């Protein structure tokens, strides 16, 4: 039995401006003990998918199962099995971390003394023991995300849903969370996480589903996805965008970004001299050239027709240091 199964999930929101097909057709299966990444840009339908699988939003059609339990029919059973850290949490900032853990444990039915014990365990697990008696509104972005993660784990869920757990965090805080997420996998927790960061999907996920515009456009392990492209990615850097644009006309199957031109070929190292000759014959000066194995970024470009990288960086100004 799969830990999580999404089968032709669809969600249409009725709005005054008309229907919004947030999720058109999403299917995937998550094995027990796996970290499964849902990678996609803003508006792809990641949160909507998570909300349906966590019983918080009714499916329009298709179905979702958590360890064989249907998210529509067995919703209360499902909720006991899952932990959720949503993208927009309604955490009460006036409470302290300790109070929040205690209250959450009580809501899950822990006795007062058990709730107290669980609070200490959880504060320790997510590294918030020292900040336990400070109001949450004084926490940094990274601390808040660790708090969200901790709160989703209070009742020891078997399946954990994390919706963009590190968006807006600086690289250091992001890494701390990654380590925590990996440790949970070692403890046997199945984790479904959404992300707009290619690096995050690459680093954490055992398997990835790339979704764009409400549809799954690719699925596999990071290696499978990269191998699926085949060949090497050659990158030429020119002095100007104009030069790169001219070069695009000379190199088949290439695309440009600023003053860079990329093309995917078999045996990159062998092809480079030919390509360089062709460019210099046309009086295009190359600043540098390199051949690399495809990255997830290249995979994303191939399956969607555009680059994801940078799309998530708009929130960079939200960075808070710890
Ligand atoms: N309650 C709603 N009513 C109407 N449209 C909605 C609603 N929720 C989401 N949408 C629309 O559905 C689409 C998918 O939204 P969703 O939040 O699932 O995307 P996402 O992949 O989580 O994006 P992000 O990375 O920005 O969080 C978007 O076009 C969004 O505007
Ligand atoms: Mg979202």
Distance 109 CA to ligand 2 centre (A): 30
Looking at the structure, tell me whether residues 44 and 162 fall in a common domain: yes
Task: Give the pLDDT band of residue 312 (cuts 50, 70, 90).
Answer: very low
Choose one of 226, 249, 265: the last residue of a domain: 226
Q: What is the Cα–Cα distance from 250 to 275, expressed in whole angstroms?
A: 9
pLDDT at 282: 94
Looking at the structure, tell me whether residues 161 and 268 fall in a common domain: no
Looking at the structure, tell me whether residues 148 and 288 fall in a common domain: no
In the chain, the DSSP E strands lie at 4-15, 18-30, 35-39, 61-66, 69-70, 82-85, 159-163, 190-195, 207-212, 215-220, 232-238, 254-257, 260-265, 286-292
Residue with the nearest Cα to atom 10 of ligand 1? 22
Q: For a ligand 1 pocket test, name from 14, 37, 48, 57 the mutation site with the most ligand atoms within 8 angstroms of its C-beta.
A: 48
Atom in ligand 1 nearest the alpha carbon of residue 50:
18
Its pTM stands at: 0.86
The answer to the question of residue 201 being in a domain is yes
Over residues 256-276, the mean pLDDT reads 90
DSSP 96: B
Q: What is the Cα–Cα distance from 218 to 303, expressed in whole angstroms?
A: 7
Round the average pLDDT of the chain to a whole number and report it: 91
User: Is the pLDDT reported for residue 153 higher than 90?
Assistant: yes
The answer to the question of residue 48 being in a domain is yes
Atom in ligand 1 nearest the alpha carbon of residue 211:
21
User: Is the pLDDT reported for residue 314 higher than 70?
Assistant: no
User: Is the pLDDT reported for residue 84 higher than 60?
Assistant: yes
Check which CATH number belongs to the domain holding 237 and give it. Answer: 3.30.70.120
* Residue 215, beta-bridge partner list: 25, 212
Looking at the structure, tell me whether residues 214 and 268 fall in a common domain: no
Looking at the structure, tell me whether residues 12 and 67 fall in a common domain: yes
What is the length of the chain? Answer: 322
Question: How are the residues of the chain apportioned to helix, strand and coil, as percentages rounded to the nearest 5?
Answer: 40, 30, 35
Over residues 151-180, the mean pLDDT reads 91
Check which CATH number belongs to the domain holding 219 and give it. Answer: 3.40.50.300
Atom in ligand 1 nearest the alpha carbon of residue 44:
21
Q: For a ligand 1 pocket test, name from 9, 12, 13, 197 the mutation site with the most ligand atoms within 8 angstroms of its C-beta.
A: 13
Phi, psi (5° rounding) for residue 193?
-130, 145
Choose one of 195, 226, 257: the last residue of a domain: 226
Looking at the structure, tell me whether residues 153 and 197 fall in a common domain: yes
Which residues span the domain enclosing 202?
4-94+135-226
Over residues 93-103, the mean pLDDT reads 93
Task: Give the pLDDT band of residue 310 (cuts 50, 70, 90).
Answer: low
Q: Of the ligands numbered here, which is closest to the C-alpha atom of 163?
A: 2
Distance 321 CA to ligand 2 centre (A): 23
Q: What is the Cα–Cα distance from 246 to 232, expressed in whole angstroms?
A: 22
Choose one of 175, 198, 226: the last residue of a domain: 226
DSSP 17: T
Atom in ligand 1 nearest the alpha carbon of residue 312:
25
pLDDT at 71: 97
Looking at the structure, tell me whether residues 213 and 273 fall in a common domain: no
Over residues 243-270, the mean pLDDT reads 90
Looking at the structure, tell me whether residues 29 and 81 fall in a common domain: yes
pLDDT at 117: 97
The answer to the question of residue 315 being in a domain is no
Give Cα separations from 52 to 9, 60, 61, 191 (angstroms): 8, 9, 11, 16
Q: Of the ligands numbered here, which is closest to the C-alpha atom of 18?
A: 1
Distance 208 CA to ligand 1 centre (A): 20
Q: What is the Cα–Cα distance from 191 to 219, expressed in whole angstroms?
A: 16
Are 177 and 185 contacting, i.e. CB atoms less than 8 angstroms apart?
Answer: no
60-61-63 Cα angle (round to 5):
115
pLDDT in tens, 118-128: 999 999 999 99
Residue with the nearest Cα to atom 27 of ligand 1? 42
Looking at the structure, tell me whether residues 270 and 146 fall in a common domain: no
Q: What is the Cα–Cα distance from 319 to 300, expressed in whole angstroms?
A: 25
Atom in ligand 1 nearest the alpha carbon of residue 167:
25
Are 187 and 32 contacting, i.e. CB atoms less than 8 angstroms apart?
Answer: no
Looking at the structure, tell me whether residues 170 and 88 fall in a common domain: yes
Count of domains forming the chain:
2
Atom in ligand 1 nearest the alpha carbon of residue 47:
22
Distance 47 CA to ligand 1 centre (A): 7
Alpha-carbon Rg of the chain, whole angstroms?
A: 23
Distance 303 CA to ligand 1 centre (A): 21
User: Is the pLDDT reported for residue 291 higher than 60?
Assistant: yes
pLDDT at 293: 86
The answer to the question of residue 281 being in a domain is yes
Q: What is the Cα–Cα distance from 169 to 146, expressed in whole angstroms?
A: 11
User: Is the pLDDT reported for residue 88 higher than 60?
Assistant: yes
Looking at the structure, tell me whether residues 30 and 66 fall in a common domain: yes
The answer to the question of residue 300 being in a domain is no
* CB-neighbour burial class of residue 186 (10 A; exposed 0-12, middle 13-18, buried 19+): exposed
The answer to the question of residue 302 being in a domain is no
Q: Of the ligands numbered here, which is closest to the C-alpha atom of 12?
A: 1
Residue with the nearest Cα to atom 13 of ligand 1? 22
The answer to the question of residue 247 being in a domain is yes
10 Å Cβ neighbour count for 117? 13
Looking at the structure, tell me whether residues 41 and 59 fall in a common domain: yes
User: Is the pLDDT reported for residue 144 higher than 70?
Assistant: yes
Using CB distances shorter than 6 Å, the residues near ligand 1 are 13, 15, 20, 22, 40, 42-48, 87, 196
The answer to the question of residue 299 being in a domain is no
């Amino acid at each position: 039995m799969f830990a999580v199964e999404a089968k032709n999930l669809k969600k249409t929101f009725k709005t005054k401006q008309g229907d919004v097909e947030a999720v058109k057709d999403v299917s995937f299966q998550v094995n027990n003990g796996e970290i499964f990444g849902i990678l996609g840009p803003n508006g792809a339908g990641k949160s909507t998918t998570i909300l349906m699988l966590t019983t918080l939003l009714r499916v329009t059609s298709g179905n979702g199962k958590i360890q064989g339990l249907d998210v529509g029919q067995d919703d209360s059973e499902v909720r006991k099995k899952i932990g959720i850290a949503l993208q927009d949490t309604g955490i009460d900032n006036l409470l302290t971390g300790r109070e929040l853990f205690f209250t959450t444990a009580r809501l899950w039915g822990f006795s007062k003394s058990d709730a107290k014990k669980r609070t200490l365990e959880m504060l320790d697990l997510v590294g918030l023991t020292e900040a336990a008696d400070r109001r949450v509104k004084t926490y940094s972005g990274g601390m808040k995300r660790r708090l969200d993660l901790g709160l989703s784990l209070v009742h020891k869920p078997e399946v954990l849903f994390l919706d963009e757990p590190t968006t807006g965090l600086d690289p250091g805080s992001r890494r701390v969370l990654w380590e925590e997420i990996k440790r949970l996998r070692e403890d046997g927790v199945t984790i479904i996480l959404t992300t707009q960061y290619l690096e995050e999907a690459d680093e954490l996920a055992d398997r990835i589903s790339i979704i764009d515009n409400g549809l799954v456009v690719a699925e596999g392990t990071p290696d499978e996805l990269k191998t699926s492209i085949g060949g090497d990615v050659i990158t030429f850097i020119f002095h100007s965008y104009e030069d790169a644009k001219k070069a695009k006309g000379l190199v088949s199957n290439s695309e440009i970004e600023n003053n860079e031109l990329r093309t995917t070929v078999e045996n990159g190292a062998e092809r480079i001299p030919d390509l360089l000759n062709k460019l210099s014959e046309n009086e295009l000066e190359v600043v540098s050239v390199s051949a690399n194995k495809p990255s997830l970024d290249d995979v994303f470009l191939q399956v969607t027709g555009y680059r994801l990288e940078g799309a998530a960086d708009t929130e960079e100004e939200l960075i808070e240091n710890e």
